[in-house]
Amino acid sequence: MIDYTTHSPFTDPGPLAGWLDGVGPDLAKLRRAASGLVFHFWGNGDITDHGFPAERRAEVDLRYAADMFARLHELNPAPLDQERAPTERIVGCCRDFTLLFVSMARHHGIPARSRVGFAGYLAPGWYMDHVVAEVWDGGRWRLIEPQFPEGTGVDVMDVPRDGFLVGADAWRACRSGALDPEKFVVSPEMTEPSLRGLTQVRHDLVQDLASLNKHEMVLWDLWGGLRDVPELSEEEMEAADELAALITDPTDDVVRAAFDTDAYRVTSVITSMSPTAQLPLEVVLR
Q: How many domains does the chain have?
A: 1
Lowest mean pLDDT among 47-56, 130-139, 147-156: 147-156
Q: How far is CA 147 from CA 39, 181, 190, 211, in A?
A: 9, 25, 21, 18
Would you place residue 189 in the very low, low, confident or very high pLDDT band (cuts 50, 70, 90)?
very high
Band of residue 150 on the pLDDT scale cut at 50, 70, 90: confident
Q: What is the pTM of this model?
A: 0.97
Domain contains 73:
yes
pLDDT value at position 1? 82
On whether residue 8 sits in a domain, the answer given is no
Is residue 167 included in any domain, yes or no? yes
Asked, for residue 211, whether it belongs to a domain, the answer is yes
Domain presence at residue 24: yes
How do strand 184-185 and strand 127-136 relate by DSSP bridges?
Answer: parallel
- Is 4 within the bounds of a domain? no
Adjacent-strand bridge partners of 184: 127
Q: What is the pLDDT of the chain when averaged over all its residues? A: 96
Residue 133 β-bridge partners:
114, 144
pLDDT category of residue 213 using cuts at 50, 70 and 90: very high
Rounded Cα distance between 128 and 185, Å, is 5
Rounded CA Rg of the chain: 18
Domain with 267 in it: 14-284
Cis, peptide link before residue 86, omega less than 30° from 0: no
**Backbone φ and ψ of 241, nearest 5°:** -55, -45
Rounded average pLDDT over 178-195: 96
> Rounded distance, CA 94 to CA 35, Å?
10
How would residue 151 be classed by pLDDT, with cut points 50, 70 and 90?
A: confident
User: Does the pLDDT of residue 253 top 80, yes or no?
Assistant: yes
Closest CA to 100 of 210, 167, 218, 13: 13
The tally of CA atoms less than 13 A away on the side-chain side of residue 34 is 32
Q: What's residue 109's pLDDT?
A: 97
3-state secondary structure of 205: helix
What is the mean pLDDT of the segment spanning 235-248?
97
**How many other CB atoms sit within 10 Å of the CB of residue 90?**
24
Q: Residue 84 domain-assigned?
A: yes
Q: Which of 69-73, 224-228, 277-281 has the highest mean pLDDT?
A: 69-73
Q: How confident is the model at residue 271 (pLDDT cuts 50, 70, 90)?
A: very high
User: Which H/E stretch holds residue 130?
Assistant: strand 127-136
Tell me if 34 is assigned to some domain: yes
Cβ atoms of residues 39 and 92 within 8 Å: yes
Task: For residue 48, count CB atoms less than 10 angstroms from its CB and return exposed for 0-12, middle for 13-18, buried for 19 or more.
Answer: exposed
**Residue 147: partners with Cβ closer than 8 Å, 6 or more residues away:** 35, 38, 40, 94, 97, 98, 132
